[in-house]
Amino acid sequence: MSKVKVFGALTLAVVLAALIVLVVLTLRGLDNSGQQTRTASSAAPKAQMPAQSRDSAAIGQAPRLEQESTTPEDCVLPYMQGTDAGLSDQELADRYLAVSESITANLVASHDPELLVVAAMFEEDEEVGLELATKAVELAPNNSLVLWNALMNCFDPDLCPSLEWLQRLAVVDSENSDVWMSLAVEQMRLGDEKAALGSLERAANAASANLYYVDTIEMGVRAFTAAGSNLPFHAAVNYAFGITTGKLPQYAGYVNLCRTMGKDSPVVAEHCLRYAQQSQAKSNPLIAKSIAADLEAVALEQLGYDGQAASLRERNRQAIELATEAHFGEATDVEALEAYMSYSPANLESFLGHFRTQGELAAFRALEQEKQAFDKQYLSSGCE
């Protein structure tokens, strides 16, 4: 039996912390070497876990599915109410593993391409995951969300048909700059610089930038809800966020391509500059904007604007530090925000709507405001 990935109560904290940590470590790696990794997800760092999950992981236990209340016993906010009181740690761990195995079996048995690609992302064995992703693509060869996530789950360039899938995705989603940049990276890896230059030019002039991040979370919720008939909604949300975190393009490959091909070619440098500027304007996730800013600095250096490049890198560094400080200070109750966001489909839809249109930090702020309003109304009503 293949192993399944196990995720705990890591929703909002994973999204925000992991993306910010990915930004910092990816940029640090690019500054040090410029060498590309196969995918961002293959080397994605672990986000800082909430204390409950971190303590459980330290002693080899599965994190609790339910959040424990920190409010007075006679007035517990609905989203902080738990149903696992009285269960031992071993009982919780056994329940968590049983749920995971049941969900995996249902996903794998499905003929729905979305459920199959989610099964691939949920699978720990890379070869089994590739088989599931391949089946999903065969069933839905023109589904851009399935194609993208099949690609994001590809780790071995000798086994994964990345070029074929990327070429198909470039037809299906022809105005997505990240698709064209990913295709350019793969073409350069295979030694076809002429084709890579053509794809880079398309990336520079594409009308949109889409990492399918929010779409993937929504797909995961749909899949886990369908596969886990008795799974609480908040647990389906946790699983969905768990499979999505770190599923990002070859950002190191983007920068390496521009450094390598743009070193002696102002045309390539101009394409990279335009792509980077467009990506910052059109992308929402923090990591996409930050990597694009670093790529813009690379292009500016190649065009002889070293001073502007240095200033841009410093502004980017300060922006990441400010975001981290503002949203992960001691006063921020991330655990309660996680519980509130995953309490109902409406709460999740609101968060993801802000994420899609304004980015994760704006979504975080909106969620805080919505939670405060809900808490005030609930507590003022006598907690009935």
**For residue range 298-354, what is the model confidence (pLDDT) as tens digits?**
999 999 999 999 999 888 888 877 776 666 555 457 778 888 999 999 999 999 999
Asked whether the beta carbons of 145 and 215 are under 8 A apart, the reply is yes
Tell me, what's the pLDDT at 21? Answer: 55
Give percent of the chain above pLDDT 90: 48
pLDDT at 278: 93
Residue 50, pLDDT above cutoff 50: no
Q: Please, which residues bridge with residue 208 across strands? A: 176
For residue 194, the tally of other CB atoms under 10 A from its CB is 7
pLDDT at residue 332, rounded to an integer: 58
9-37 tens-digit pLDDT: 445 555 555 555 555 555 555 665 444 44
Per-residue pLDDT, 364: 86
For 91-105, 175-189, 243-257, 349-363, which range has the lowest pLDDT when averaged over its residues? 91-105
pLDDT at site 146: 97
Amino acid 132: pLDDT? 95
Contact 298, 272 (CB under 8 A): yes
Taking the C-alpha atoms of residue 47 and residue 44, their distance in angstroms, rounded to an integer, is 9
SS3 state at 123: strand
**Between the ranges 5-9, 124-128, 180-184, 246-250, where is the mean pLDDT highest?**
180-184
**pLDDT recorded at residue 260:** 92
Beta carbons of 146 and 114 less than 8 angstroms apart: yes
Distance between CA 338 and CA 3 in Å, rounded?
27
Q: How far from the centroid of its chain's Cα atoms is residue 148's Cα?
A: 12
Q: What is the mean pLDDT of residues 126-131?
A: 92
What pLDDT score does 51 carry?
A: 32
Please give the pLDDT value at position 26.
57
Q: Does position 296 have pLDDT exceeding 90, yes or no?
A: yes
Residue 68 has pLDDT above 50, yes or no: no
Distance in angstroms (rounded) separating the CA atoms of residues 54 and 68:
15
Torsion of Cα atoms, 126 then 131 then 136 then 138, to 10°? 140
CB neighbours of 272 closer than 8 A, spacing ≥ 6? 200, 204, 257, 258, 262, 295, 298, 299, 302
pTM: 0.82
Q: What pLDDT does residue 251 have?
A: 87
Are the beta carbons of 123 and 132 closer than 8 angstroms?
yes
pLDDT of residue 246: 73
pLDDT in the model for residue 329: 55
Collapse the DSSP code of 82 into the 3-class scheme (helix H, G, I; strand E, B; otherwise coil) and give the result: coil
CA angle 233–237–238, rounded 5-degree value:
115
| Torsion angles phi and psi, residue 208, rounded to 5 | -145, 165
Q: What is the pLDDT of residue 355?
A: 92
Mean pLDDT across 253-281: 93
The predicted model gives 152-180 an average pLDDT of 92
Helix axes 144-152, 113-122, angle to 10 degrees: 10
**131 vs 288, residue with greater confidence:** 131
